[in-house]
């Protein structure tokens, strides 16, 4: 088997291993671990768009919210009808959860398609702004949509997310993105990033590549949203605002754009940082933002990017 497939298999085994031991692990650490896993999914999927394809999207939280709401809607509204009054067996519940996650991912991917087709004609800052705008529009729409709880959010989502699902999801995301970028097709993403005009000149359909990256990124953001919703058991539109998007972007940039390992490490670090700083709660966010500035000045190529070629810049 090729290496990435082996790695995926190993990660899945590790995930089930951790799940088997999860009774013995302190629930607090488990929570942090789930947070890390979800952030890895988000950051790695955004890295496909921002890092590998070189498009700057600020709307990742918007796609996450689409996925979170739709998958929550599936388990809340469709679930009871499919499983019956008794709640069904554990297997049926897990199958439903899987279906809900996939539905969330697909709906987010569809939203990504809707957003991507018109906006990916724009470049740089304009694209960043339009994606930001779409993220905000999605949030306001959900806020005003009463069947989904409006501004209050959706409560009572079953707690289906466990450590296995999250780690498996993270592993699957890393696997998919790595394989996609390394494939013949995926070279196109890198070409679009390196030089769009040259890529176009050799006959690549750059818009198509951008849209594919965008849709795949949105799909995984939707999955992450679904996991998040079934983990917190309550979601509200305010949780998916502009700052959430920024958080994910920061992970990508800190990890080094287009460097999956770095991004994974950055996601871990940035999830742990607020937890580590918890004893100094009052200064927590001040320190966090201060560290961000210092890191950017000290290591502009990304904290975990060691392959930086100085002669290039």
Partner 1 sequence: MINGISLGAIFALIALGYTMVYGVLRFINFAHSDVFMVGAYAGYFIGQHVPEHTVWGGTLALVGSMAVCALLGILMERLAYRPLRGAPTLNVLITAIGMSLLLQNLGQYFFGATPRPYPELFPVANYAFGGLVVSSSQLAVIGVTAGLLVVLRFVVLKTKIGTAMRAVSLNPKAASLVGININVVISFTFGLGSALAAAGGVLYALNYPSIDPLMGVLPGLKAFVAAVLGGIGNIPGAALGGLLLGVVETFVNGSEWSTYKDAIAFAVLIVILLFRPAGLLGKSTVEKV
How big is the site for partner 1, counted in residues (CB under 8 A)?
Answer: 42
Terminal alpha carbon distance of the chain: 38
Q: The tokens of 308 are what?
A: 């930086």
Window contacting partner 1 (CB under 8 A); options: 76-84, 90-98, 137-145, 204-212: 137-145
Nearest residue (CB) to partner 1, 222 versus 256: 256
Residue 74-113 contact track with partner 1, rule CB under 8 A, x = bound: ----------------------------------------
Tell which positions 46-65 bind partner 1, by CB under 8 A.
56
Q: Of the candidates 187, 199, 240, 245, which has an alpha carbon nearest to the alpha carbon of residue 45?
A: 245
d(C-alpha 282, C-alpha 265), whole Å: 26
Judge whether 127 and 119 are in contact, CB under 8 Å.
Answer: yes
Compute, in degrees rounded to 10, the torsion defined by CA atoms 127, 218, 233, 38: -100
Q: Does 293 bind partner 1 (CB under 8 A)?
A: yes
CB of 19 or CB of 242, closer to partner 1? 242
Q: Which stretch binds partner 1 (CB under 8 A): 39-47, 96-104, 118-126, 218-226?
A: 118-126
Among the listed residues 202, 79, 225, 247, the one whose alpha carbon sits nearest the alpha carbon of residue 138: 225
Contact status: 304 vs partner 1 (CB under 8 A): no
Least distance (Å) from partner 1 to the CB of residue 147? 15
Q: Among 160, 227, 189, which Cα is nearest to 50's?
A: 189
Answer yes or no whether residue 141 interacts with partner 1 by CB under 8 A. Answer: yes
- Which are the contacts of 137, defined by CB distance < 8 A and separation ≥ 6? 62
Least Å distance, CB 55 to partner 1, is: 11
For the beta carbon of residue 8, count every other beta carbon within 10 angstroms. 20
**Which run of H or E residues covers position 110?**
helix 90-119
238-277 binders of partner 1 (CB under 8 A): 242, 246, 249-250, 253-254, 257
Question: Nearer Cβ to partner 1, position 98 or 296?
Answer: 296
| Interface ranges with partner 1 (CB under 8 A) | 56, 118-119, 121-122, 124-126, 128-130, 132-134, 136-137, 139-141, 143-144, 197-198, 242, 246, 249-250, 253-254, 257, 282-283, 285-286, 288-290, 292-293, 296-297, 300
């Amino acid at each position: 088997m090729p290496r990435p497939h082996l790695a995926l298999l190993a990660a899945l085994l590790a995930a089930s291993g951790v799940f088997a031991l999860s009774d013995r692990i302190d629930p607090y650490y488990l929570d942090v671990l789930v947070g890390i896993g979800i952030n890895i999914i988000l950051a790695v999927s955004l890295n496909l768009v921002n890092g590998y394809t070189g498009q700057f999207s600020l709307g990742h939280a918007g796609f996450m919210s689409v996925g979170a709401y739709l998958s929550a809607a599936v388990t809340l509204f469709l679930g009871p009808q499919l499983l019956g009054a008794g709640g069904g067996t554990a297997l049926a519940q897990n199958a439903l959860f899987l279906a809900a996650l996939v539905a969330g991912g697909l709906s987010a991917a569809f939203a990504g398609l809707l957003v991507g087709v018109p906006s990916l004609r724009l470049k740089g800052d304009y694209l960043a702004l339009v994606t930001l705008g779409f993220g905000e529009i999605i949030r306001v729409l959900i806020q005003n949509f009463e069947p989904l709880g409006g501004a209050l959010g959706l409560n009572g989502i079953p707690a289906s997310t466990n450590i296995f699902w999250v780690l498996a999801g993270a592993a699957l995301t890393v696997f998919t993105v790595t394989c996609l970028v390394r494939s013949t097709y995926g070279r196109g993403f890198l070409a679009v990033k390196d030089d769009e005009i040259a890529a176009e000149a050799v006959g690549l359909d750059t818009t198509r590549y951008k849209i594919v990256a965008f849709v795949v990124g949105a799909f995984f953001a939707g999955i992450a949203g679904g996991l998040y919703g079934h983990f917190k058991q309550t979601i509200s539109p305010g949780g998916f605002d502009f700052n959430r998007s920024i958080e994910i972007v920061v992970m990508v940039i800190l990890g080094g754009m287009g460097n999956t390992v770095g991004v994974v490490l950055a996601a871990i670090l940035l999830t742990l940082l607020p937890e580590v700083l918890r004893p100094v709660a009052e200064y927590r966010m001040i320190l966090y933002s201060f560290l961000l500035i210092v890191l950017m000045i000290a290591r502009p190529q990304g904290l975990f990017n060691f392959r930086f070629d100085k002669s290039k810049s």
